[in-house]
Structure 1
Amino acid sequence: MCFASWPCDSLFDAPYDLPDFPGIMTNSLLQSTLERETSFLAPYALASHQSRGRKYPEEAVPYRGAFQRDRDRIVHCSAFRRLSGKMQVFTGDMGDYHRTRLTHTHEVSSLARTVARALRLNEDLVEALALFHDIGHPPFGHAGEDALDECLAAEGGFSHNHNALVIAEQLEGRYPRFPGLNLTYEVLEGQQTRVDKSAAANQVDGPLLEVQVVEAADSMTYDAHDSDDAVKLGLVTIDDLLECTLVREAMATVKSRYVDMNADVLRKAVVHELLYRQVTDLLETTSKTLVERAPASAAEARRLGLLIAPSQELSEKKKELEKFLYERVYRHPKLVVVRSLAQQRLRAMFHGYLERVDLLPERFRVRAEQVGLPRSIGDYLAGMTDRFCDQTFHQSFAGAS
């Protein structure tokens, strides 16, 4: 992709105030974030110095951009670590191969960084957004989310996407000068577009391209890796998946290149090809769109709307695969039983805490005075790992189910 003919001389055509960092970066071999991004980012990328900042102002660091700091704060927070104990689709009782919410998050981040680097977008921002995108998930995945949404219906419901914002702005407590993580407005706004996608679609300006990259990476990741896990766990066979055009094409490519593979290697090769096909198609389609539309700034790219998307042909193939996964995997009888049991337990725990407020940790009893008891209970339950949720249920509420 060539940007030389674009109507923009540099990243800094707009009148931004560039930070001045005396001392530490003077006469130094260290490269500042500003220098690195000036030499690398495309005109439509959002440079770190263009950030609108944070709710609670903080002094800038020359060698560590605003979005790098966001990424680190997310990785170091308690809610992120707890993702290792939360199911993606399959529970820990089904084995130890399949993805957890944490490994899924890292895979989304890896794929998103690949796309961002190829398109010369801000990798730091993309990585922060990717690592943050599922941090609000409760125990037991979407089944847990549905149960909490039901329990909190009178309080406005529950959404894991919105819960991520609650965690980042209220629940995490790592810093003495402010509540939450004090993430940049761009990361918080990017997550907000996930809360209500219909509302976001009706806004005058679309999401930043970096936000769009993470959305695309999330979709590509679960299409491939949920297929992988489902076959590995025996819920469907690789032959079952061949009903889907995208998998059939991936299988044909793999078999044209390799022979004498055992079933395990074949499955992994097909999953790799599924990812490769999706990423390649996305980059080819998006690069053509960006060259044709030629946004000269991140703001102009937002005004142009959705720019990062797969081709129509691949999009249809993805829909076919996702329909298969929904009908044959996500609604598999084994998973339905697990989800139903998890939801029963979460409902029992929610109503149990309403009756026995003394069982809530002190922190959430105090929070109840600010946001109401039902919401505080929901916050507490949403923060649990699958295992801790089960342990707490059996210790305090087993007789209420």
Structure 2
Amino acid sequence: MRRQERLRRALGAATVVVVVVVVVGGSGSASPPAVAAPGSRPSVVRYDSVDLAEYERKWSNIYGPLDGATRGIADGVLTVSDVPFKTGVDFSVYDHLKYMAVSNRTFPAPRQGLVEFAVDITARTPGATGGHVVHGRYGPPGSAAVADPTARPYVSPVLEGQQAAVVLNMIDFCTGQLFDWFVSGTRAFPLIERLPSTVTGNTTDPDCPGATEVGLDKAYTQIIREVPITPGVPHRAAIRYRQAGGHASVTYLLDGAVIARVGEVGVPLDRQGVPYTGIYPSLGGGEPLAGKIRSFSLGHGLFSLLDAFPFQYGCTPPDAAGPGVCDPRYAPYSVSIPPAERAFDQGAVGSFRNFTVRTVGR
């Protein structure tokens, strides 16, 4: 069975959590170059498509059609549009994914060296504005729609890119480690994510020998920093993963400038004592992943990220009988946000060009 089908089944059968971790470099200077192993050869793979037929051979929508986004290719530019967002799903991460495509090809991560994913992104996110505040209530999925005066209210400001964004993903489904760029109309921010095994199904995936269980002691979601961008023009988003000497780091670049660097991939920023936005505090210490990541898939899409970590982990979805039910261990963390607070006429249009994967080392 193809990995895409296994992941689709895992997502459909289990509660899902999306997580993120990031570390800001202290100086903003360029990250050190990777040292290629003896005999290694730098390589560059270009992953654009000339038409939708080629696109569909290279990419899979492993989580389904989602929000009904449209897509087209003209002059080598892929454009995906979903304006306004149509769904407001109060369960797990189903509300996050408006459109997501994952490469059918995986790209090795050198044991000594680097692999870098990059693409030119032009983003338009109408309806996403600074200062927007999301309201909900603590409780199981669907409970915010039920009048319960005893439920503790949830109120949180959200960044422009949390409301709607055009996204580049660098994904290892075997460890659950992801690195992401979120680009909105006037802002951009890098994330680092580690998905739990309930999402990836890594421990039962024959393509992931030796994969270990990832729970909330290792999963996390953290946004590093938000930076302003010039609206309406392409921006070169790049993510560079480097392994060398038993250490693993990731560097986020935008238009050639280093925006952030994670020095110990796998360990949440607040556990490393690294300043970050505060979105979102971790629930566990994570683990260093140097030497454990063998390859990455390339991803892109349209996203929102409006709710609270750990995104209703351990809860069941609401149904006709009423709200879902949460495992008592995780119930205190569950926040229910009604559909009207999730989809409030915001949307996203993203154009992608010059997908490249550069590898140095072996």
TM-score by length of 2: 0.23
Q: Relative to total residues, which structure has the larger helix share, 1 or 2?
A: 1
Bigger strand share: 2
TM-score (norm. length: structure 1): 0.22
Which of the two has higher C-alpha Rg?
Answer: 1
